[in-house]
A and B are shown apart, each in its own frame.
Chain A
Amino acid sequence: MTTFARARGEIALLALLLLADAMFYFVVIPVGIADPDDFGLDQGLPPSFSARVAAILMAVIMAIRLVHLLVTPAVAQAGDEASNSQESENAIRNIGGIAGALAFAFGLVPVLGYYLGGVCMVATLVAVMGERRWSYLLWQPAAVMGFIWLLFDQVFSIELPVGLLFGS
């Protein structure tokens, strides 16, 4: 990627984040934090103070960088994390894995419980990551969840959720 293309990408990212920051300051904070009436400095700081300061600081930092980039686009650098060949080789697999994990947390655990939901998720993820042998898709998730049951239920006496279908 050329320096100018990188600069364009960074400028677009900054613009988007500045917009999100403005939304946070002008919409989310007033809706999410109601400062008590007549709150004075003798009582310390109002509840929304920290959120507002963080949003303002963020805007200032991003605005400085934006101006810097607009004036001298050559300063654009690839980020450490993005540049060190950590790019995903298979975006579909990523999306499948993320969707499987979110389905586990929001659907399977509350309904089927942790152990059964965990077996389903581990089997799905291992299959998404290329395992095709049926026997492995059965025993590996069962072994992992068996280990979790032994550790949490038997050793620590921590009961993991059993799910709506099985009682709670």
Chain B
Amino acid sequence: MDQILEGIGLALTWQSLLAVVLGVAAGQVLGAIPGLTASMAVALLIPYSFYFDPWVGIPMLLGMFKGSLFGSSVTAILIRTPGTPAASATVLDGYPLAQAGKGAKAVKMALYSSVFGDTFSDVCLIFFASALALVALQFGPAEYTLLIVLALGSLGMLSSRPIWKGLVATLVGVMIGIIGLDPITATERLTFGNPELEEGIGLIPMLIGFLAVSEVFRQMGGSNSDLSAQAMRYSSRREDNRVSWLEFKGCIPVLFRSSAIGTAIGSMPGLGSTVAAFIAYGEARRTSAKPEQFGKGSLEGVAAPEAANNAVSGANLIPLLAFGIPGDIAAALILGALMVQGVTVGPLAFSQNPLPIYAIYAALILANFVNLGLGFALLRVARFAFSVPRRLLLASVLVVAAAGSYALRGSIFDVQLVFVFGVAGYLMMRFGFPPVPLLIGFILMPLLEENLRTVLLLSSTYDQHILFVFERPAFLALLALMSSAIAFVVWRRRRRA
């Protein structure tokens, strides 16, 4: 107990509190800029963190990581431009709410959900880190493959009517994900000799092109009065600018489910917050009492992806703290910063020197509260920034977004891709194809292919049949869990009908 209090004391000084405030504020602003991901925000801050005491620098990094995830949702909701890929699913219902003058309500729901998801996963991290990490390590390529195939299928089917357009969009995304060097044989795939394509298509140009630029192109066709009016309109009704207790209460089951999904996915290295957000969104839509409102401005549709993508951030630290294995790039950067600051993590740290672990826990919880407080300030700044005429905002989104996509790889080709994908996204919208399943297909394609190939290699290496996957308890458990979830939804729909 003394050690716990001493560890918490390390992170609860005024210096570390100030560091968390600065980190969260910087993270929220950087996260809101399209193209600058949470990992990039953390990477930008790492060099500065070395100048500080470890218990000032590390809380600052953790705060920045959390702040950037919420910041990215603000632009996703208000101008359909996700600051980071993790906020792509928030666009689906956040933007329709903003178009209806309820942008402030949507942002506040995103803020509450982000903090809820963050806190949920931090509590899981604190109490179940070792146990969760052990479960997560049971997940092998067969389980990942099953999870991804089901996620692709269900999200493709749920995202559009008629269903075939959503599925075709998903498969087009898969095809775009194939472009680049084959991960095993290094054979060029669909690059046609263009060296810029050998690394594959970047996720940021895809996201910015299909979501933000296509929307700008669509809105350019508006009337003169629309284009000269303020970019964001807010309803004057009080209830459209706040989340009532009843509304929040209605979302609590979704928040718990989505946070659990985010925590489970975050504890498995490699999947990441974007995947968690889309899976949670699909699950929330499937189990909702009002699924027809999804995609048209459902608060549950904002709460689910936000809770899930933030829950990943805490859960990503589970394999990091328990085994020293980072769950994603941001966690790897945090590991690097911890190592340079002389802080050891991993199984031995829990028994030999647990003080830093408790200090990290305290800093994580502290960052959640700071995120909540500063989130309202960011909303005010965003309301001011987006009060310019719509035509100026639309043109500005194009140049800021293109600069963000250039920043990642320093390639003009990426800038060009942003606009090519923007045109493609615009045409897709005109013909009724949803762009989001395409992005999901693209994001999950490398993971799916890598895991499927590993499964096949494993089955041949050990001279086993592919059915060896059914001998894996984790695979069977996952299959049973998913089958029962689908059966439950079918049963509930029939009962309702």
- A residues sitting closer than 8 Å to B (CB atoms) are 10, 13, 17, 24, 28-29, 31-36, 39, 41-45, 47-48, 50-51, 54-55, 57-58, 61-62, 64-65, 75-83, 86, 88-91, 93-94, 96-98, 101-102, 104-106, 109-110, 114, 118, 121-122, 125-126, 128-131, 140-141, 144-145, 148, 151-152, 156, 158, 160-161
Contact A28 B190 (CB under 8 A): yes
Contact of B419 with A by CB under 8 A: yes
Given A36-B187, A79-B161, A125:B394 Cβ within 8 A: yes
User: Is B412 on the interface with A (CB-CB < 8 A)?
Assistant: yes
List, in ascending order, chain B residues with CB within 8 A of A36's CB. Answer: 185, 187
**16 additional A-B residue pairs with CB within 8 Å, beyond A35-B187, A90-B223, A158-B410:** A10-B162, A50-B445, A50-B449, A51-B178, A61-B164, A62-B164, A76-B162, A79-B431, A81-B434, A93-B220, A93-B221, A122-B395, A129-B394, A130-B227, A156-B44, A161-B406
A164 to chain B, nearest CB (A): 11
Q: Return chain A residues, CB-CB under 8 Å to B419.
A: 101-102, 104-106
Q: Say yes or no: B407 contacts A158, CB within 8 Å.
A: yes
Q: Are B391 and A144 in contact (CB under 8 A)?
A: no
Do A33 and B395 contact each other (CB < 8 Å), given the known contacts A50-B449, A54-B174, A54-B178?
Answer: no
Q: Is the CB of A110 within 8 A of B221?
A: no
Report whether B399 and A106 are in contact in the complex, using a CB–CB cutoff of 8 Å. Answer: no
Q: How far is the CA of A10 from the CA of B429 in the complex (A)?
A: 15
- B interface majority secondary structure: helix
Contact of B416 among A50, A106, A125 (CB under 8 A): A106
B422 interface residue (CB < 8 Å to A): yes
Chain B's interface size range is 35 or more
Proximity bits, B133-157, A CB within 8 Å = 1, else 0: 0000000000000000000000000
Complex Cα–Cα for A42 and B171 (A): 26
Does residue B375 face the partner (Cβ distance < 8 Å to A)?
A: no
CB of B228 closer than 8 Å to a CB of A: yes
Which chain B positions have C-beta within 8 A of A97? 216-217, 220
Contact residues in B for A151 (Cβ distance below 8 Å): 33
Q: Knowing A48-B189, A81-B429, A144-B392 are in contact, say whether A94-B217 is a contact too (CB < 8 A).
A: yes
Task: Give Cα distance in the complex from A118 to B400, angstroms.
Answer: 10
A residues within 8 A CB of B168?
A: 17, 58, 61-62
Instruction: List chain A residues, Cβ under 8 A from B295.
Output: 80
Q: Tell which of B302-310, B313-321, B332-340, B450-458 binds the partner.
A: B450-458
Contact call B432/A57, Cβ cutoff below 8 A: no
Is B178's CB under 8 angstroms from A86's CB? Answer: no
Contact status B221-A94, CB under 8 Å: yes
Interface assignment of B351: CB less than 8 Å from any CB of chain A: no
Which A residue's beta carbon lies closest to that of B167? A61
Partner of B220, one of A61, A118, A125: A125
Q: Are A65 and B178 in contact (CB under 8 A)?
A: no
B392/A148 in contact, CB under 8 A: no
- Which label, helix, strand, loop or mixed, suits the secondary structure of the A interface? helix
Is the beta-carbon distance between A148 and B220 smaller than 8 angstroms? no
**Residue B160 lies at the interface, judged by CB distance under 8 Å to chain A:** yes
A141 surroundings in chain B (CB, below 8 A): 395
Closest to B450 in A: A44
Contact A65 B162 (CB under 8 A): yes
Which residues of the other chain, A, contact B175 by a CB distance below 8 angstroms?
24, 51, 54-55
B236 within 8 A of A: no
Say whether B494 faces chain A, with CB atoms less than 8 Å apart.
Answer: no
Give the Cβ gap from B423 to chain A, nearest Cβ, in Å: 6
Contact call B33/A32, Cβ cutoff below 8 A: no
Closest residue of chain B to A57 (Cβ to Cβ) is B171
Q: Is the CB of B162 within 8 A of A79?
A: yes
- The answer on a CB contact under 8 Å between A144 and B396 is yes
A72 to B461 Cα, complex, angstroms: 49
Q: CB-CB contacts of B227-248 with A at 8 A, as 1s and 0s?
A: 1100000000000000000000
Q: How far is the CB of B34 from the nearest CB of chain A, in Å?
A: 12
Q: Which residue of B has the minimal Cβ distance to A163?
A: B412
Which residue of the partner chain, among B44, B221, B449, B461, contacts A88 with CB atoms under 8 Å? Answer: B221
Once bound together, how far apart are the Cα atoms of A47 and B189, in whole Å? Answer: 7
Let me know if B182 and A152 touch, CB within 8 A: no
